[in-house]
Amino acid sequence: MSRYAVLILPSANRVYADAAIALTQAELAAFNDSVLGGRIDAIAAEIIGGVPYVTFECDDLGDRDIAHLANLSSLYALFAVEDGLLRPVTAQGLDRLDDDLITIQKYSGKTNEQFTKLLLNVTVLASDFAARMLDRSLTVLDPLCGRGTTLNQALMYGWDAYGIEIDERDVDAYAVFIQRWMKEKRLKHRVEYGPVRRDRRVVARRLELSFAASKDDYRAGIVQRLDVVNADTSSLPEFFRPASVDLVVTDAPYGVQHGSRTKGRELSRSPLELIADNAPAWARVLRPGGAVGIAWNTHVARRDDAAAALESAGLRVVEPGPQGGFSHRVDQAIQRDIIVARKARD
């Protein structure tokens, strides 16, 4: 049995850094259950040379296993522990674009980038597409996309990203940012951003962008797609086809500084109304075998109620990793957790 150690990526957010060890253990367990065949054992937190690590044991950790583990959201480096010494293990993750795509935007209410990656990982691992996450270009939808942190992480992975957001200022800010970023990185791309008209009236604004990591890929038509609509999430099926996305991933409003709005209602401090009202629309655009992953504040909504809302939409709630393993403190008013549900195959 070989032993390994994960060095945790530093986080500028002190509170998240304190939670990172436990979150990495839970995320590692999710990878183990989904794509590593349950071969990892003895996951633990350990101090080595005065530095915190997450350690584990595994026989025959192959190249593909390492390729999966390279995507751990808080992984800074992976080591094999041999005779008390740490031997670096090359671990190349899916991220294919410069990481400032994720880190450069700074604004109030932005979700921690490491947590966004964790939420995306946990959702894909709960889907029927987990075994193909290294090989297949998936499509990710954030139905409450804000300024695009989840969308950007999906693009980092080489996947397509769809989003819908009711706040026009957020969509405008994201449109300006992503176009400027593409130009600064000199990536070959094509973009359209303007009104969507139906029956001679404007019903939304839409950003559609296609790009490739290289000019050769672009000429060959090997492109990624970004599609963001400025509209209420309840109107999602008006803009995206049924069964057109593999994953629905979102960070629900926490009900503290930000509430949630659903069509025809005033601001609500509970994300439950938003989930209950819109989960059927989210499920409709999800492919069979796909998964929905939602982060929310447990202080304003009970897990059982969130699960009931998803089950009512025809989804089956699953437990990603160890029970309660992803619950962590964000601040005094926010205790964040993750809930994941899968859409059954026909």
C-alpha 218/C-alpha 236 separation (Å) is: 29
Pairing label, strands 224-230, 245-251: unpaired
Mean pLDDT of 260-280: 71
Mean pLDDT of 102-114: 86
Tell me which residue has tokens 């294919």.
Answer: 96
% of the chain with per-residue pLDDT over 70: 95
At 102, the amino acid letter reads I
328 has pLDDT over 50:
yes
Mean pLDDT of 316-331: 87
Q: What is the pLDDT of residues 197-240, one digit of tens each?
A: 998 899 999 999 999 988 899 999 999 999 999 999 999 999 99
- The mean pLDDT of the chain is 91
pLDDT at position 256 is: 42
Architecture of domain 2-89: 2-Layer Sandwich (3.30)
Query: If you write DSSP's letter for every residue of 78-98 in order, what string do you get?
Result: EEEEETTEEEEE----S--S-
263 has pLDDT over 70:
no
Mean pLDDT of 134-156: 96
pLDDT at position 320 is: 80
314 has pLDDT over 90:
yes
Q: What is the pLDDT of residues 5-61, one digit of tens each?
A: 999 998 767 788 889 999 999 999 999 999 999 999 999 999 999 999 999 999 889
Mean pLDDT of 244-267: 69
Helix, strand or coil, per DSSP, at residue 221: coil
pLDDT at position 255 is: 60
Architecture of domain 100-342: 3-Layer(aba) Sandwich (3.40)
pLDDT at position 16 is: 84
- Confidence band of 258 (pLDDT split at 50, 70, 90): very low
**Residues in Cβ contact with 320 at an 8 Å cutoff, skipping those fewer than 6 apart:** 30, 122, 123, 125, 126, 293, 326, 338, 340
- Confidence band of 187 (pLDDT split at 50, 70, 90): very high
Mean pLDDT of 311-322: 91
**Which backbone phi and psi does 345 adopt, to 5 degrees?**
-75, 150
pLDDT at position 259 is: 41
262 has pLDDT over 80:
no
pLDDT at position 111 is: 84
pTM of the model: 0.93
Q: Is it true that 2-89 and 100-342 share their CATH fold? A: no
Domain ranges, ordered by start, for the chain: 2-89, 100-342
